[in-house]
């Protein structure tokens, strides 16, 4: 399956989906540092610099066809530590560009990620928008520590597909064949990664926590990323269903 990656960051979502057997065919990322990271690891994949100017016509003109649209749209206005503006905010309001591209491209699947605080109100709007696009959806909160990461990082994941194409039990069932059901995987929802599991050497994660060039950019990019294991799990369930 060919993936259009939106709000790509450093490509963690895409790494997980590619581990599941999908192929990234285009990125959309505005941050210059993240664009350099993507260019290093996916040098042949085009990267568009602004989701607001990306259209189905432009992708077709560039010879790009997609089966999946995936991405985590900005969370700053949704996060409990953020502005509180929700989807009316300048950054989190970019969800509407995500929804626009779903309407224009009609992918087989749309995979959406955001912070757990989306349940405070914005989730209903996102699901309504997907429904108005003609898509059914499944969703679940999943923590990074549930898939072996040494930190909590609970995030909402939404899997959407055209109305009537799959019974909801289908995606959950295929996920549970190799692991646990997506909706049940976060059995540690109230837990925290213990201090014993934290990295003794931060440089092992950050690639240098010693004030080297781009240190702040690197830390910010990692902080905005997600663990690839979760999209890999979702991607494998989709690939098994589509086989």
Q: Residue 239, SS3?
A: helix
Among 75, 133, 145, 187, the active-site one is 75
Q: Strands (DSSP E) along the chain, which ranges?
A: 2-6, 23-28, 47-48, 68-72, 109-115, 135-143, 154-162
CB 155 within 8 A of CB 225: no
Helices (H), 76-228: 95-105, 122-132, 168-178, 203-206, 215-224
Is residue 75 part of the annotated active site? The answer reads yes
Count of CB atoms situated within 10 Å of the CB of 235: 26
State the DSSP code for 19.
H
Question: Residue 118 and residue 115: Cα distance in Å, rounded?
Answer: 6
Q: Annotated catalytic sites, by residue?
A: 75
């Amino acid at each position: 399956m060919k993936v259009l990656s939106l709000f790509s960051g450093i490509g963690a979502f895409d790494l997980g989906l590619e581990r599941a057997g999908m192929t990234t065919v285009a990125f959309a990322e505005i941050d210059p540092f993240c664009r350099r990271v993507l260019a290093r690891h996916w040098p042949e994949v085009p990267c568009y610099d602004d989701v607001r100017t990306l259209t189905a016509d432009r992708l077709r003109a560039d010879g790009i066809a997609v089966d999946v649209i995936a991405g985590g749209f900005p969370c700053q206005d949704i996060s409990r530590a953020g502005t509180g503006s929700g989807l009316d905010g300048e950054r989190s309001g970019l969800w509407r560009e995500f929804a626009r591209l779903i309407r224009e491209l009609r992918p087989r699947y749309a995979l959406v990620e955001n912070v757990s605080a989306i349940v405070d109100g914005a989730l209903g709007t996102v699901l309504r928008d997907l429904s108005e696009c003609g898509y059914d959806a499944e969703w679940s909160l999943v923590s990074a520590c549930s898939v072996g990461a040494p930190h909590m990082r609970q995030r909402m994941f939404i899997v959407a597909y055209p109305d009537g194409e799959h019974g909801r039990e289908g995606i959950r069932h295929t996920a549970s064949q190799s692991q646990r059901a997506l909706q049940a995987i976060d059995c540690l929802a109230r837990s925290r990664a213990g201090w014993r599991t934290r990295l003794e050497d931060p440089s092992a994660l950050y690639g240098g926590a010693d004030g080297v060039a781009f240190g702040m950019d690197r830390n910010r990019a990692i902080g905005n990323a997600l663990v690839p294991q979760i999209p890999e799990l979702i991607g494998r369930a989709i690939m098994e269903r589509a086989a």
